[in-house]
Amino acid sequence: MITETVECGVAITDALGITAQGLETIHHNGNDKLVLKRLEELTQKYEISTFVVGKPINMDGTSGERVEKTQKFIHKLRCKFNNISIETVDERLTTVAAHRTMNFLDVKPKEKKNIVDTISAVYILEMYINRH
């Protein structure tokens, strides 16, 4: 049996919505309840008005299985956090950019796995900020 390890990077903006900072990576092995629980804790700690979710569109612009899983997760987000706006951003190449950043900063290979999704979340949030 193959178990898929899944991570969810989390980033937040400053109070003015100008900069994005990486917060953490939620390791959840495909269990959305763990992510929702942690996001609930974070919404209690920070004043969150919008969730920005990366949409994993294929490089050729098509939607695959990952987009479908993301849509199902967004539905769960809407059900649990009906007072928080949910926006999506095309996340293509954010992981590539995150790896380039880590290589530039000379991050050790062992540490990369733990922070790549957090850095990707920063890039996703920055794209959203720049769009608005």
> For 74, how many CA atoms within 13 A lie in the half-sphere containing its CB?
18
Tens-place pLDDT, residues 6-33: 788 999 999 888 999 999 999 887 788 8
Contact 9/29 with Cβ under 8 angstroms?
no
Question: Which residues fall within 8 angstroms of residue 109, CB to CB, at 6 or more apart?
Answer: none
The answer on pLDDT for 4 being more than 70 is: no
> What mean pLDDT is predicted for residues 25-46?
90
The Cα–Cα gap between 132 and 127 comes to: 9
**Coil, helix or strand for 131?**
helix
Tens-place pLDDT, residues 53-80: 999 998 998 888 889 999 999 999 999 9
Tens-place pLDDT, residues 87-128: 999 999 888 899 899 899 999 988 888 889 999 999 999 999
Name the burial class of residue 131, with classes exposed (0-12), middle (13-18) and buried (19+) by CB atoms within 10 angstroms of its CB. exposed
The Cα–Cα gap between 82 and 17 comes to: 21
Q: Given the DSSP bridges, would you call strands 50-55 and 85-90 parallel, antiparallel or unpaired?
A: parallel
Amino acid at 108: K
